[in-house]
Amino acid sequence: MSRVAAIDCGTNSIRLLVAEASTGHDGTTALRDLHREMRVVRLGQGVDATGVLAAEAIERTRAALVDYVGVLRRKGVERVRMVATSATRDAANRAEFFAMTAAVLGVEAEVISGAEEAELSFLGAVGELDPDDGPYLVADVGGGSTELVLGTWDGAEARFDGAKSVDVGCVRLTERALLSDPPTPAEVAEAQAVAERVLDEAFAQVPVAKARTWVGVAGTVTTLAAIHLGLSEYDPDRIHLSRIPFDGIESITARLLTTGHRERAAIGAMHPGRVDVIGGGAVVVRALARRVALETEITSLLVSEHDILDGIALSLAKVDDRR
């Protein structure tokens, strides 16, 4: 067994997973969670418009990393991998961000490609699912990008039939189109059109019609699941592997787009850092659901609390196993 740590720094949040990893004789790798944590740091604040990471956003991320380093030391972590995704891929001053992470964490953050991001999300999402329920379509709806990947899983290895990352997510879409609170009907229509147009790039490369199960991961999807379940507070155990029917996605999205900040903040399971961008994220999920409904017989979204963090941790475990 080894203790590994995965850090995922996205456009909206930075998350930490510390896990104990073990590999069986059949080649399967299992993770046992020791610690999960999420902070909303909004690293991608304004990146879509300015092309650079804001100084205050880098500082928020640095402060979170300092706290995470304390957790790594207390938990006796042996290997750590930090992955930075959409916001840093787009930033002209990302060298400043890398220097900060190296100074605080001791290792430099990796800016991974959208394809690798999609594959890591897939591995994390399907690792505990029944291989017979595949092929799986995994959608990771982030702050600045959305990843789609289609593949199968035999319990030990994944095979991919298509993967694509596109630049639409809850933060990016909100900053681009949903400027009023609540947004106007014209803004909602524009957001829907943008989401559908950008997602078309992904659907052109991912053969969605082959999918038998659609799995959604990351904070937008899990928040929608909490709302669908009527939770008074966020409960990952109840959210994990729950399902949202497509008509539920439609009704929740309509509700979020017609209520103001105060009403959204009053939703018990809503993280404060998601209140202003959840509408944009819901629009992306709704656009995905409508396209999946057209191309498959799938009628609901399977929600997973396991995602790219678990995929990063599994990648570390496989490196240890090869050694």
For position 255, which CATH number holds? 3.30.420.150
33 forms bridges with which residues in the sheet? 19
State both tokens at 3. Answer: 């203790």
Domain contains 216: yes
Could you list the residue range(s) of the whole structural domain that residue 235 is in? Answer: 129-303
User: H or E segment at 310?
Assistant: helix 308-322
Domain contains 123: no
pLDDT band for 322, please (50, 70, 90 cuts): very low
pTM of the shown model: 0.82
Q: Over range 267-284, report the average pLDDT.
A: 93
Q: Do 209 and 280 fall within a single domain?
A: yes
Domain contains 154: yes
Domain contains 120: no
**Which of the 8 DSSP states describes residue 131?**
G
Q: Do 92 and 186 fall within a single domain?
A: no
Axis crossing angle, helix 55-75 with helix 94-105, rounded to the nearest 10? 20
Whole-number mean pLDDT of the chain?
A: 90
Residue with tokens 């669908």: 228
Q: Over range 141-159, report the average pLDDT.
A: 88
Count of domains forming the chain:
2
Q: Do 145 and 287 fall within a single domain?
A: yes
Q: Do 297 and 317 fall within a single domain?
A: no
pLDDT at 323 over 50: no
Q: Side chain identity at 30, as an amino acid letter?
A: A
Q: Do 88 and 149 fall within a single domain?
A: no
pLDDT at 226 over 80: yes
Domain contains 122: no
CB contact set of 281 (below 8 Å; sequence gap of 6+): 141, 169, 170, 173, 219, 220, 221, 223, 224, 274
Q: What is the pLDDT of residue 24?
A: 63
pLDDT, one tens digit per residue, over 51-60 is 898 999 999 9
- DSSP string computed for 240-262: TT-EEEHHHHHHHHHHHHTS-HH
Answer for the pair 5, 80: CB distance below 8 angstroms, yes or no: yes
Q: What is the pLDDT of residue 34?
A: 92
Q: Over range 41-59, report the average pLDDT.
A: 87
Percent of the chain with pLDDT over 90: 67
Domain contains 19: yes
Q: Over range 12-30, report the average pLDDT.
A: 79
Q: Over range 12-28, report the average pLDDT.
A: 80
Domain contains 124: no
Q: Do 91 and 179 fall within a single domain?
A: no
Q: Do 19 and 108 fall within a single domain?
A: yes
Window from 119-123, 162-166, 174-178 with minimum mean pLDDT: 119-123
Domain contains 229: yes
Residue with tokens 């995704």: 85
Q: Do 52 and 13 fall within a single domain?
A: yes
Q: Do 51 and 157 fall within a single domain?
A: no
Distance CA 167, CA 145 (A): 4
pLDDT at 76 over 60: yes
Q: Do 296 and 147 fall within a single domain?
A: yes
Dihedral angle, C-alpha 166, 167, 169, 171, nearest 10 °: 170
State both tokens at 223. Answer: 């928040």
pLDDT band for 256, please (50, 70, 90 cuts): very high
Q: Do 182 and 279 fall within a single domain?
A: yes
pLDDT band for 81, please (50, 70, 90 cuts): very high
pLDDT, one tens digit per residue, over 232-254 is 999 999 999 999 999 999 999 99
- CATH number for the domain that contains residue 7: 3.30.420.40
Q: Do 135 and 13 fall within a single domain?
A: no
Residue with tokens 């990796």: 110
